[in-house]
């Protein structure tokens, strides 16, 4: 029987462990004394479903994928890791971020936000590995980050040799390779299990309700599909971003070494710093979404609702709470005979088709 240990966040937030507040500003996120995320060991799939996912909180699982052949190869040398990956490679090209050394691995907007500080290229997977190896001992390295490549297309035999014990085989692993990098706080629409193969990754994590304190950038113009915080966590400026100090009171940290895995529920914000000349991470996005991303609904709400008068918005909030978000939303239509509930009925294939037909009839007028 496996055992789960939880580290609850009982420590008080101490703003400066290494520096005094009057000494230096801005500072790095790692100068703060942040509590660690909960820890689990020897986790089974059933325990993951019933004890971890049900909690809805991030959990670090130590040594979850220690036995993966790719982790064993990485523990030998960078060269052995690259050789292992090349054995599985089928010659596919992958989208890759390339940045000059001056960016220090922070893939972000340019100063005026008119462009990004990196280039996007499609490059053969094995050539990326070769370039990373070539740069290993160079003092100044070109930033390279090839992320979220489905192994089913790049390394089709990967999943068979390196199984994920907490999920079904229908969840496709994605691989990330690169060198040192800093990824701005962002969220994933889906839940995520991130497994470190090579290098060290530190995650700084914020609950979803901290969105108002994170100074979030554009939804439809960003680095990788999801909006990102405009706060530079390597150079925090509380004068420019004063509300971020409130977010810090809720931040947690997780440091992952090869073989470790981090579970992140959907919509939890996370900053990721990767250290080392050759970092490899494998992640699994999974969710219960079957009818599209809620981000599409958010965009429609921005178009239709956000700019209404405050009284109208408050009224619509009541309507949405009644039918969607309220604790009694499923009981909101009990007074209507089931045969006549239409789009308000319980989820079923017939109900879903009714909703889609309703949307198809209404959206053309909205989007004209």
How high is the pLDDT of residue 292?
Answer: 76
CA distance 60 to 39: 5
How high is the pLDDT of residue 4?
Answer: 55
How high is the pLDDT of residue 53?
Answer: 93
Specify the pTM.
0.91
DSSP assignment of 46-71, as one string? Answer: HHIIIIIGGGTS-EEEETTTTT-HHH
Cβ atoms of 178 and 195 within 8 Å: the answer is no
How high is the pLDDT of residue 267?
Answer: 97
How high is the pLDDT of residue 268?
Answer: 98
How high is the pLDDT of residue 16?
Answer: 46
How high is the pLDDT of residue 293?
Answer: 84
* Nearest CA among 198, 192, 363, 332 for reference residue 274: 198
How high is the pLDDT of residue 320?
Answer: 94
> ∠88-93-95 over CA atoms, to 5°?
120
How high is the pLDDT of residue 8?
Answer: 44
How high is the pLDDT of residue 5?
Answer: 55
How high is the pLDDT of residue 57?
Answer: 96
Pull the structure tokens for residue 41: 């060991």
DSSP assignment of 257-284, as one string? Answer: -TT-EEEE-TT-EEEEEEEEEEEEEEEE
**All domains of the chain, ordered by start, with CATH?**
29-286 (2.60.120.650), 294-367 (no CATH)
How high is the pLDDT of residue 25?
Answer: 54
Cβ atoms of 208 and 187 within 8 Å: the answer is yes
CA distance 181 to 196: 14
How high is the pLDDT of residue 277?
Answer: 95
How high is the pLDDT of residue 20?
Answer: 47
Tens digit of pLDDT at every position of the chain (368 positions): 344 555 544 434 445 444 444 455 559 999 999 999 999 988 999 999 999 999 999 999 999 999 999 999 999 999 999 999 999 999 999 999 999 999 999 999 999 999 999 999 999 999 999 999 999 988 899 999 999 999 999 999 999 999 999 999 999 999 999 999 999 999 999 999 999 999 999 999 999 999 999 999 999 999 999 999 999 999 999 999 999 999 999 999 999 999 999 999 999 999 999 999 999 999 999 987 777 789 989 999 999 999 999 999 999 999 999 999 988 888 899 999 999 998 999 989 999 999 999 899 988 988 88
How high is the pLDDT of residue 288?
Answer: 77
């Amino acid at each position: 029987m496996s055992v789960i240990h939880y580290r609850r966040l009982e420590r008080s937030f101490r703003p400066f462990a290494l520096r005094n507040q009057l000494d230096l500003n801005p500072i790095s996120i790692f100068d703060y004394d942040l509590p660690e995320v909960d820890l689990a060991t020897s986790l089974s799939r059933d325990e993951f479903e019933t004890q971890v996912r049900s909690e809805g909180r991030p959990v670090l699982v130590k040594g979850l994928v220690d036995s993966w052949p790719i982790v064993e190869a990485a523990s030998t040398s960078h060269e052995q890791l690259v050789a292992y990956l090349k054995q599985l490679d089928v010659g596919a090209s992958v989208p890759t971020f390339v940045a000059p050394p001056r960016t220090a691995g922070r893939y972000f907007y340019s100063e005026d936000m008119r462009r990004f500080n990196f280039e996007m290229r499609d490059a053969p997977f094995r050539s990326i590995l070769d370039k990373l190896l070539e740069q290993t001992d160079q003092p100044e390295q070109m930033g390279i980050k090839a992320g979220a490549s489905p192994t089913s297309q790049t390394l089709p035999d990967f999943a068979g040799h390196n199984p994920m014990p907490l999920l079904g085989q229908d969840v496709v692993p994605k691989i990330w390779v690169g060198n040192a990098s800093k990824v701005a706080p962002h969220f994933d629409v889906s839940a995520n299990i991130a497994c470190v193969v090579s290098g060290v990754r530190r995650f700084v994590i914020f609950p979803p309700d901290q969105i108002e304190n994170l100074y979030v950038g554009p939804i439809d113009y960003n680095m990788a599909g999801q909006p990102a915080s405009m706060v530079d966590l390597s150079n925090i400026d509380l004068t420019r971003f004063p509300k971020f100090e409130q977010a810090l009171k809720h931040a947690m940290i997780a440091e992952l070494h090869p073989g470790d895995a981090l579970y992140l529920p959907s919509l939890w914000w996370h900053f990721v710093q990767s250290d080392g000349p050759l970092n490899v991470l494998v992640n699994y996005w999974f969710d219960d979404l079957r009818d599209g991303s809620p981000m599409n609904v958010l965009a429609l709400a921005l178009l239709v609702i956000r700019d209404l008068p405050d009284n109208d918005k408050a009224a619509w909030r009541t309507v949405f709470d009644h039918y969607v978000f309220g604790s009694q939303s499923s009981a909101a239509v009990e007074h209507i005979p089931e045969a006549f509930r239409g789009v308000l009925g319980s989820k079923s294939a017939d109900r879903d088709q009714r909703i889609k037909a309703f949307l198809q009839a209404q959206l053309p007028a909205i989007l004209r």
